[in-house]
Structure 1
Amino acid sequence: MDPMSDLGTALRELAGRQQPIDGSDAADLWSRGKQRVRRRRAIGAAVAAIVVAAVGLGAVLVPEPAVVMPAGEVHKPAYPERIYPASRWLATTKDHPLGQVAVVIPSYRGNKSSVYAISATTGEYRYLDLPGWVEGSHVSLAPDGKHLAYWTTGRTTQAPYPDPILNPVGKGEAIAGVAIYDTVTGKVQRTPLPTPHGMSDEPVYWVNNATMWFGDWRLQNRHSAKMVRSLSISVGRPEPLQIRDSALAGTSGNLNSNGTFSLSEDGQQTWEQVAAPGSIDPGFFEARPAVRLPVRLPEKHADGPVATYDYVATAGTRVVVVVDSTPSMSSPVLVGDIDKNGAVKTLDFVGDRFQEADVVGWRDASTLLAYGRDRHGAILAAVDVPTRKLTVLTRSISGWSPDMSPARDVLAQGLVTGLRPPEPMDPRLRNGLIAGGGLVLAGAVLVLVRRRRRA
């Protein structure tokens, strides 16, 4: 028997048994296919919607920032050579005080204004827990880094001042108290400062580790304010903080960061200083002869010849000034000699392109400390007024802020390399990614299960 003949016979028989395709079955098949496609699209859209909702929910439900930076090895108190920006998600000192602090820096924690500090002995970064702090207002660190002064709200004898420029609190409240935070124990000592309409947010200067001064635009009524040089506060004692009005109440001028008051007598050109740097007795004020400053600056000053001054202080027979260079913001530091008649004929620039200066204090009677910027970036520098020499002490990776407050005594003890704080992921993004990833996985499993059931 021929195999090929048998194969041909079998194929013909098979072809004869094959039924023609029914057109109605083809239409039903097409309909079922379209339904399956629509079902898959619906499942995919549902999974995508769930993922989007989960990501949004994770962005809203932000946990309390609590990333703790590991402390470095304990060393003698020292100031960090490098200052880094702190993550918004670092922990606070609420449950564990940081101890002696080298510097405090305004920043943001989460979405709110805050202040972080760097330990003087371990280099650890943490945000400070300051109960009652007027958010965004000035803070000031004592020279030894163990106390921090900050403003609080409180009661006023009349309605709070409505002007947001002079009253930064608003919402029917005003600055009406001062608090001293102990960086070692975490305890807070509060003192009310009752006034009719509140107080303005002015910087505080620590004369020493127990006494601080501040000037204040005390709000006299709802339409005016009066500059008052007032209030010295003693800390570190069991009794309430002692407050004394100064003999300069009612005068106008600038409170310098070296503990002197510069009083403008003739516009911006003639200045008189009272009180000596480092004076211990807050009731003692030593008047000094008026200093007449030049109306014009050196020709190489790029902002024009007419001078206005942001800061004026004397050291012996020399005067140091910071020039107001708005809107260019160059703000250079200049030093000049005072003649026997109190006149300053010329002012010389300090440093090589040292600009955008912001005075932070005096290390001693002749050395000015200032943050600023040179050709290489942000720096903390020491200006030796007698020799006009500028020495770069530290460079800041995060730049600097006008409210950045160093511990002068810690800075004088020396420098340390410092630590870089951790940079954790934003918990809103992390939570969203975790939730979204979990739901994507759940959706994929659901699709596979449904496919198997229909197989």
Structure 2
Amino acid sequence: MISLHDRLADLAEDGPDGPPTSDVWERGRRYGRRRRVEAAALVLVLLAAGGSLLGALLPAMSYDVGPADADAALRLPDRLYAPSPWLRGTDDVGQIGPLVAVVEAERKSWTGSRTALAGVSSGGEYAFLDLPGLPGTRGQDVGTEIALSDDGRLLAYPLTGTPEGEPNLMDGAALVGVAVYDTVSGEVTRHRVRTEHGIGVAGLAWVEGTLWMNYGQWDQGADESTDSGSGSDYRVYAWEPGREPRRIAGPLANRMPEVSGPGLVTVSARRMSVFDHGGSRLRDLRLNLASETSPVLNASGTRVALLEDPDGDPSVRTDDASSLRSGVVPAGTDIEVMTERVGDVTADELWGWRDDWHVLVRDYGRNALLSVDVNTGAEERLVLMSEGASPVLARDALAAPVFDAPEPPYVMDLRLRASLVVLAALLGLGGLVLWRRRGRA
């Protein structure tokens, strides 16, 4: 058996001949300094990687929205953006109202993506609206499905749920009522309707603090692939949230009016009927030509604006922009209102009035909301929009001052963010293992 003494003797014989060299100590010190430099370099690399990762994640981690102020005055943003699909919602950031606008935007999650509603605060901050019972988008103009109050505080939307019988899923989900969301307090008030198959909501509009609703009953159940169905008993109701809705009587009992100028209006061909906020008829007006879209009155009711219908048939819409026309509304009833073209101005949509002399129009070619002086035809761009966007603006914002709206923050894909965290952890672990191995060498 070889003893420890013998093994040490063999090692001594295999060693270098002669006395130890004089630079052994210096070589050891140089090796120690090199190890410290390598360790410091590794730490710097890891810190740089961590800093880069933090810089990428910081916008998503630090973005916050200021607390909602019920008395905040609305301002009109000079641009409406498409927010990041990974932007947080009101369940995370809290309420951001009053809202100056609501926009449709893609929203992504771990499991996929969908089209959702994002609110824009009076300060230009964005957050997705986490609304209980909100139906999914059906690819329609968002303005036909929701209603934002004049001051931007209340948002009305159709409410999904389970009907008493076979549901009608032609809208993607069965509707069983209407809900109102308070953008400041976060409170949701619901009006549920007894229904066997679900209801069809044909219109929602705020008239001061009262929500006007037009809905009826589906006559049969249906799945999502069904293309057509029949409904009945469509009525108009006025609802002050917290109270029972009242059924509207008279000429508006079955016809949803539009909010325009000092009251409500209905339009049929070239005839415009004006009602007060309670639904009582005030006057009838006859326009000198048909309008491509619903004409709008200014706040004082002294002027009307419309988009000229080139073929005279409002039921047939063209893709071309229409000439803007305006006219003075004389006193009296059942009188003809003469309108004239406003310079060479053409537009695709008519949004309302900014004041008694400036009308607001949407120009698809410029993706913008324009203010047009009806006396001179002078145009001013107010809001630049994303291509194809169909935002809903609070009416009070139409007359509000314009401000430079900040762009919503970039928010990193949560999946990419998680991958970067894992990658940073692996790099750090790998560097630590390499350093320890070199220390043992």
TM-score (norm 1): 0.62
Residue 311 of structure 1 is matched in structure 2 by 294
Q: Secondary structure at the match of 1:115?
A: strand
**Cα distance between partner residues in 1 of 2:163 and 2:355:** 39
Indicate which of 383, 396, 411 corresponds to 1:395: 383
In 2 relative to 1, CA 337–220 (structure 1 residues): closer, same or farther, beyond 3 Å? farther
Residue 285 of structure 1 is matched in structure 2 by 281
Q: Secondary structure at the match of 1:106?
A: strand
**Cα distance between partner residues in 1 of 2:340 and 2:216:** 31
**Cα distance between partner residues in 2 of 1:334 and 1:199:** 38
**Cα distance between partner residues in 2 of 1:130 and 1:67:** 24
Q: Secondary structure at the match of 1:185?
A: coil
Displacement of 1:69 in angstroms is 4.2
Q: Please show how residues 256-405 of structure 1 align to structure 2 within 5 Å.
A: 260-264=264-268, 270-276=269-275, 279-281=276-278, 283-291=279-287, 293=289, 309-313=292-296, 316=302, 318=304, 320-321=306-307, 323=309, 326=317, 328=319, 330=321, 333-335=324-326, 348=341, 352=345, 354-357=346-349, 359=351, 361-363=352-354, 368-373=359-364, 377-383=366-372, 387=375, 389=377, 391-399=379-387, 401-402=389-390, 404-405=391-392
- The answer as to whether partners of 2:238 and 2:245 remain within 8 angstroms in 1 is yes
Residue 116 of structure 2 is matched in structure 1 by 114
**Cα distance between partner residues in 2 of 1:445 and 1:66:** 28
In 2 relative to 1, CA 378–183 (structure 1 residues): closer, same or farther, beyond 3 Å? same
Displacement of 1:257 in angstroms is 5.8
Q: Secondary structure at the match of 1:113?
A: strand
Q: Please show how residues 146-157 of structure 1 align to structure 2 within 5 Å.
A: 146-156=153-163
Residue identity in the other structure for 2:292: Y
Displacement of 1:100 in angstroms is 1.8
In 2 relative to 1, CA 107–249 (structure 1 residues): closer, same or farther, beyond 3 Å? same
Displacement of 1:148 in angstroms is 0.8
Residues 186-215 of structure 1, C-alpha deviations (whole Å, 9 max, x = no match): 11111113345433354422222x013244
Residue 25 of structure 2 is matched in structure 1 by none
- The answer as to whether partners of 2:236 and 2:256 remain within 8 angstroms in 1 is no
Q: Which ranges of structure 2 fall in alignment gaps of 5 or more residues?
A: 1-59, 222-228
Displacement of 1:159 in angstroms is 3.7
Residues 327-370 of structure 1, C-alpha deviations (whole Å, 9 max, x = no match): 63535544467899866787636664x433253x4556775434
Residue identity in the other structure for 1:146: R
Q: Secondary structure at the match of 2:124?
A: coil
Displacement of 1:433 in angstroms is 4.8
In 2 relative to 1, CA 190–419 (structure 1 residues): closer, same or farther, beyond 3 Å? same
**Cα distance between partner residues in 1 of 2:272 and 2:253:** 15
In 2 relative to 1, CA 311–226 (structure 1 residues): closer, same or farther, beyond 3 Å? farther
Residue 22 of structure 1 is matched in structure 2 by none
Q: Please show how residues 197-236 of structure 1 align to structure 2 within 5 Å.
A: 197-208=197-208, 210-216=209-215, 219-220=218-219, 223-225=229-231, 228=234, 230-235=236-241
Residues 163-196 of structure 1, C-alpha deviations (whole Å, 9 max, x = no match): x3xxx134xx2x2211111111111111113345
Displacement of 1:273 in angstroms is 2.7
Is structure 2 residue 160 aligned with structure 1 residue 169? no
In 2 relative to 1, CA 89–329 (structure 1 residues): closer, same or farther, beyond 3 Å? farther
- The answer as to whether partners of 2:285 and 2:337 remain within 8 angstroms in 1 is no
**Cα distance between partner residues in 1 of 2:131 and 2:176:** 16
Residue 17 of structure 2 is matched in structure 1 by none
Displacement of 1:151 in angstroms is 1.0
**Cα distance between partner residues in 1 of 2:232 and 2:371:** 34
**Cα distance between partner residues in 1 of 2:237 and 2:61:** 37
Displacement of 1:398 in angstroms is 2.0
**Cα distance between partner residues in 2 of 1:284 and 1:66:** 53
In 2 relative to 1, CA 106–126 (structure 1 residues): closer, same or farther, beyond 3 Å? same
Indicate which of 242, 247, 255 corresponds to 2:245: 242
**Cα distance between partner residues in 1 of 2:88 and 2:201:** 27
**Cα distance between partner residues in 2 of 1:218 and 1:292:** 38
Residue identity in the other structure for 1:312: P
Q: Secondary structure at the match of 1:286?
A: strand
Residue 129 of structure 2 is matched in structure 1 by 128
Displacement of 1:139 in angstroms is 2.0
- The answer as to whether partners of 2:65 and 2:96 remain within 8 angstroms in 1 is no
Q: Secondary structure at the match of 1:94?
A: helix
- The answer as to whether partners of 2:323 and 2:344 remain within 8 angstroms in 1 is no
Residue 185 of structure 2 is matched in structure 1 by 185
- The answer as to whether partners of 1:67 and 1:91 remain within 8 angstroms in 2 is no
Residues 407-429 of structure 1, C-alpha deviations (whole Å, 9 max, x = no match): 22234231211211111222223
- The answer as to whether partners of 1:260 and 1:313 remain within 8 angstroms in 2 is no
Residue identity in the other structure for 2:207: V
- The answer as to whether partners of 1:321 and 1:333 remain within 8 angstroms in 2 is yes
Residue identity in the other structure for 1:118: V
Aligned length: 351
Residue 401 of structure 2 is matched in structure 1 by 414
Residue identity in the other structure for 2:79: R
Residue identity in the other structure for 2:386: S
In 2 relative to 1, CA 430–346 (structure 1 residues): closer, same or farther, beyond 3 Å? same
* Higher mean C-alpha displacement, 219-228 vs 88-97: 219-228
Q: Which ranges of structure 1 fall in alignment gaps of 5 or more residues?
A: 1-64, 265-269, 295-307, 451-455
Residue identity in the other structure for 1:141: L
**Cα distance between partner residues in 1 of 2:303 and 2:76:** 31
TM-score (norm 2): 0.64
Is structure 2 residue 108 aligned with structure 1 residue 92? no
Is structure 2 residue 111 aligned with structure 1 residue 104? no
In 2 relative to 1, CA 388–201 (structure 1 residues): closer, same or farther, beyond 3 Å? farther
